[in-house]
A and B are shown apart, each in its own frame.
Chain A
């Protein structure tokens, strides 16, 4: 099991319950849509997976490890097995596309030549081979998101988390991004794709995790 939630609830200190008694089990190699209206708890669920939140109740298991048993110094190694794509891209503004995408490899201590070669290939693959040295401010929304995807997968993560990755781009760019995620999934990466765009979900025959008011109301293959 790649990810499992057992009776997981998340409440913020103000008392608001964001997630309520969530149970799920995600298999490796699949592509999951995570849907729900704004505020339904999609981002919170992802944050629980990448260990930026701790469940108030229940147990989260990631890569067969009970995350409540993890020590703080074990988080970095765990997070390096994840790739994360954000709606707002979160690129470092004064670093080029190449430098942004290379960050995870540099953090892992890879050699400079290996980093440049590998990241250049990756940026070529996402269609940005001619924009390697462009700053984020010189790129369109779709291009920035492709840099963000390159950065998320440069470490070959087992699990890719995408939090509304098409939320800030136009339809054309959205299709291209979707194609990239599907390609990555074909190559074996498990993808959890959070979105509130129902039309996007309906286009693809993929399992759907639907959240409503903090509860998981269905976890079935919606398109089937």
Chain B
């Protein structure tokens, strides 16, 4: 039989420190979970995009005025054969003219004008995993076949966007650390206030021969009882927010912009935040109390 479980009720109930502690922890867990979710999604998206962009190029066969359809097709087929024979190439996918016109149709309404446009032929090429063929190198290799070919590496024109994405990920990580720091700071302050209110009780336990670790354990149990529901509420609110964001993003058609991340993975990663907040609360409370007891003598 240990100490009464309600020993530290005075500070946490009468002074409303318990309520204050719970509200602050709900907010911090909510923010931390959102930051963690953002960090996980952005990191995954940046990784996926980065890989996709580095491993893909688009080859442009320029439009030539006096070429008929058969000549165009011959030129394309020869190039396709050449590409498929290359050991570093994984897939070769010609983009048909209708698809290219479809891409342009967002800006040009007139179908007859689209038909009349001198469109180049495009071929999407994906390299095998681990291939180290740079777009410029591929262009040099293909120059013997057609001097006018252009090879565009996707990474070149998406680099800045990828940098922006990575930057957002770094900000989310920073927010995560700041949230953790805020948890420790706020909990330390609340613990100090609670300990000031309960100073007499703690001193009394000390006089009666309670070992430091026993008093600290009792205090940390009290914090633990407050932290569990607060962390769960903060996490549930954050999960609800993420669900709403996903719904809004999917209804706007923007969900394809982010890399797919399973709910299980996202849930597992973000669950670290409430667990971490509870752990931090308990450790901070324990350390604050042990410091006070050491000062008591």
The answer to whether B4 and A95 touch across the interface, beta carbons within 8 angstroms, is yes
Query: Which of A52, A54, A84, A103 counts the most B-chain CB atoms under 10 A from its CB?
Result: A103
The answer to whether A106 and B200 touch across the interface, beta carbons within 8 angstroms, is no
The answer to whether B209 and A107 touch across the interface, beta carbons within 8 angstroms, is yes
Shortest CB–CB separation between residue A53 and chain B, in angstroms? 7
Query: Which of A54, A76, A77, A82 counts the most B-chain CB atoms under 10 A from its CB?
Result: A76
Task: Knowing A106-B4, A112-B1, say if A79 contacts B208 (CB, 8 Å).
Answer: yes
A110 at the interface (CB under 8 A from B): yes
Which B residues are in CB contact (< 8 Å) with A133?
none
**Which of A54, A92, A106 contacts B1, CB < 8 Å?**
A106
The answer to whether B297 and A50 touch across the interface, beta carbons within 8 angstroms, is no
Contact with A along B199-210 (1 / 0, CB 8 A): 011001111111
The answer to whether A103 and B1 touch across the interface, beta carbons within 8 angstroms, is no
**Which of A75, A90, A103 contacts B200, CB < 8 Å?**
A90
The answer to whether B209 and A80 touch across the interface, beta carbons within 8 angstroms, is yes
The answer to whether A99 and B3 touch across the interface, beta carbons within 8 angstroms, is no
* Distance of A54 Cα from B3 Cα, bound (Å): 28
Shortest CB–CB separation between residue B293 and chain A, in angstroms? 10
The answer to whether B207 and A115 touch across the interface, beta carbons within 8 angstroms, is no
Task: Knowing A109-B2, A112-B1, say if A94 contacts B209 (CB, 8 Å).
Answer: no
B9 at the interface (CB under 8 A from A): yes
The answer to whether B6 and A94 touch across the interface, beta carbons within 8 angstroms, is yes
The answer to whether A104 and B208 touch across the interface, beta carbons within 8 angstroms, is yes
* Distance of A92 Cα from B1 Cα, bound (Å): 18
Which A residues are in CB contact (< 8 Å) with B2?
106-107, 109
A198 at the interface (CB under 8 A from B): no
Query: Which of B4, B208, B211 counts the most A-chain CB atoms under 10 A from its CB?
Result: B208
Contact with B along A41-85 (1 / 0, CB 8 A): 000000000111110000000000000000001011111101010
Shortest CB–CB separation between residue A223 and chain B, in angstroms? 30
A199 at the interface (CB under 8 A from B): no
Shortest CB–CB separation between residue B217 and chain A, in angstroms? 12
Number of A residues near B (Cβ < 8 Å) is 31
Which A residues are in CB contact (< 8 Å) with B210?
76, 107
* Distance of A111 Cα from B1 Cα, bound (Å): 6
B287 at the interface (CB under 8 A from A): no
Residue of B at shortest CB range from A115? B1
B171 at the interface (CB under 8 A from A): no
Task: Knowing A90-B204, A95-B4, A115-B1, say if A73 contacts B297 (CB, 8 Å).
Answer: no
* Distance of A80 Cα from B214 Cα, bound (Å): 14
The answer to whether B7 and A76 touch across the interface, beta carbons within 8 angstroms, is no
Task: Knowing A103-B3, A107-B3, say if A94 contacts B208 (CB, 8 Å).
Answer: no
Contact with B along A90-126 (1 / 0, CB 8 A): 1011110001000110111111100100000000000
* Distance of A115 Cα from B4 Cα, bound (Å): 12
Which B residues are in CB contact (< 8 Å) with A99?
4
Residue of B at shortest CB range from A114? B1
Shortest CB–CB separation between residue B15 and chain A, in angstroms? 13
Which B residues are in CB contact (< 8 Å) with A90?
200, 204
The answer to whether A52 and B207 touch across the interface, beta carbons within 8 angstroms, is yes
The answer to whether B208 and A51 touch across the interface, beta carbons within 8 angstroms, is no
Shortest CB–CB separation between residue A70 and chain B, in angstroms? 11
* Distance of A64 Cα from B13 Cα, bound (Å): 44
Shortest CB–CB separation between residue B245 and chain A, in angstroms? 45
The answer to whether B1 and A94 touch across the interface, beta carbons within 8 angstroms, is no
Which A residues are in CB contact (< 8 Å) with B10?
92-94
Which positions 1-27 of chain B face chain A at CB distance < 8 Å?
1-4, 6-7, 9-10
Which B residues are in CB contact (< 8 Å) with A93?
10
CB-based closest 7 A-B pairs = A80-B209, A79-B209, A76-B209, A76-B211, A107-B210, A112-B1, A104-B208
Q: A110-B1, A115-B1, A151-B208 are in contact. List 10 more A-B contacts (CB 8 A).
A: A76-B210, A92-B7, A92-B10, A94-B6, A104-B209, A106-B2, A106-B3, A107-B208, A107-B210, A111-B1
Q: Can you pick out 28 interface pairs between chain A and chain B where the beta carbons lie within 8 Å of each other? A: A51-B297, A53-B297, A76-B209, A76-B210, A76-B211, A78-B209, A79-B207, A80-B208, A84-B208, A92-B10, A92-B201, A93-B10, A95-B4, A95-B6, A99-B4, A103-B3, A103-B204, A103-B205, A103-B208, A106-B1, A106-B2, A106-B3, A106-B4, A107-B2, A107-B209, A107-B214, A108-B209, A109-B2
